[in-house]
Amino acid sequence: MVFSSITFLFYFLPITLTIYYIVPNKFKNIILLIVSLLFYFYGEPKYIWLIITSIIVTYLFGILIDKYKKKSKLFLILSIIVIVGLLMYFKYINFVIENVNLFISNQIDFIYVALPIGISFYTFQMVSYLIDVYKEEAKVQKNILKLAMYISLFPQLIAGPIVRYTTIEEQIEKRNYTFEKFSLGVRKFIIGLGKKVLIADVLAELNTIILGSNESSILYYWLYAISGMLQIYFDFSGYSDMAIGLGKMLGFEFLENFNYPYIATSITDFWRRWHISLSTWFRDYVYIPLGGNKVSPIKWFRNILIVWILTGLWHGAAWNFVIWGLYFGILLIIEKVFLQRILKKVPLILARIYTLFIVMISFILFNGDSVSHILQNIGGLFGISNLPIASKESLYYLKSYFMVIVIGIIGSTPIVKNVMGSKKAHKFMNCIEPIFLLFVLIVSTSYMIDGSFSPFLYFRF
């Protein structure tokens, strides 16, 4: 079940909210646990045992880490081996077998195993909880049902953001419910829905057309690169907005996961703005424990590369993700050594163009099926193989999707927010915003009824 579906929007969500607000406060966590497990079961029935087992393991190790201080490090290591081991098996076993087979004559058979949805996200939540309990930055949760509710909470279960236990520790016990907070949640959810259905899904159509076309032109490759860049942003930030909005409706406050990353002035700045919950997770639980930048330059560069190889692998079990991670790791090292000083001195527009181009190339690496496919898509941007600048077909699709691309470009910046947030526009927005949100909801619903099923891109991670 996805948020941008009729089943979720008009059946699951209204029923859940009705029951949730009818029952007394002491039962709300139980209701959330039940509906969250039902939500997961609907989408992944055969792996419901896996998330329940993971929750039990996390609960037991949390108790052991808290109770036996002298052996807490041993229990932490064992817990990470078990929890991350499950992730490694389901996500990477065939990737390992494939690469081992390159070096041995007796080929190992692949293991048929499907990737459980959301496993990368809820695994990181469990690991961060256990580490925070070990470091005494979080109190151990002795009520297994409350811990299970935190891990399985349906708004962020499938594709994040990665909500740390310390962020909502107090909210698990006591949450504030106000009409204003609920309405802000509805607003956030509808905006996220519009991002996903009206922009990301429409740009996905363009990308599908381009990939299936035999036509080749420089314009076609630029259309593919730009639309792909916008698609992944509106798809994932749209999901994050919906998750944060749902959290508000239920009384929770989740941290923002995106902060206009396409206005970044460097790659360092970009990763402070893009998928914030993931980048800060790796910073706090991998980079800093390795020594961060408080070590010799060689070890500092090593730490950066380790983090980014792991970040790449987190996104998928394929070499293009490893290359994608190394690409960013190397660029970040270059920036930290000397380039960032130069970027601070050049005009902002040049720094932003540099960042956008680097990021655009990164998504070509990210989406590449093979090395040849990646090289073809990058080379096509520069007219390699004597490509024409444009073709009738590429001009037709540019004209057809021009408005969506322009809306996407404007919507990926804070221009609209700044204009509508001004004092002059305040009264106007109070009147027009409800109409606008209703319009987005109606049009998005129409698209969902007429369109085909379109899962969120990050479901596969």
CA dist., res. 415 & res. 420, Å (int): 9
Return the residue matching tokens 């087979």. Answer: 101
Q: Which of 441, 188, 393, 162 has the alpha carbon at shortest distance from 280?
A: 162
List the catalytic residue out of 275, 315, 373, 426.
315
SS (H, E, C) the chain: CCCCCHHHHHHHHHHHHHHHHHCCHHHHHHHHHHHHHHHHHHHCHHHHHHHHHHHHHHHHHHHHHHHCHHHHHHHHHHHHHHHHHHHHHHHHHHHHHHHHCCCCCCCCCCCCCCCCCCHHHHHHHHHHHHHHHHCCCCCCCCCHHHHHHHHHCHHHHCCCCCCCHHHHHHHHHCCCCCHHHHHHHHHHHHHHHHHHHHHHHHHHHHHHHHHHCCCCCHHHHHHHHHHHHHHHHHHHHHHHHHHHHHHHHCCCCCCCCCCCHHHCCCHHHHHHHCCHHHHHHHHHHHHCCCCCCCCCHHHHHHHHHHHHHHHHHHHCCCHHHHHHHHHHHHHHHHHHHHHHHHHCCCCHHHHHHHHHHHHHHHHHHHHCCCHHHHHHHHHHCCCCCCCCCCCHHHHHHHHHHHHHHHHHHHHCCCHHHHHHCCHHHHHHHHHHHHHHHHHHHHHHHHHHHHCCCCCCHHHHC
CA dist., res. 443 & res. 451, Å (int): 12
Return the residue matching tokens 């070590």. Answer: 295
Helix axes 25-43, 48-67, angle to 10 degrees: 130
CA dist., res. 116 & res. 50, Å (int): 9
What's the start-to-end Cα distance of the chain, in Å? 16
Task: Identify whether 315 is a catalytic site residue.
Answer: yes
Q: Report whether 228 contacts 368 (CB < 8 A).
A: no
Catalytic residues: 315
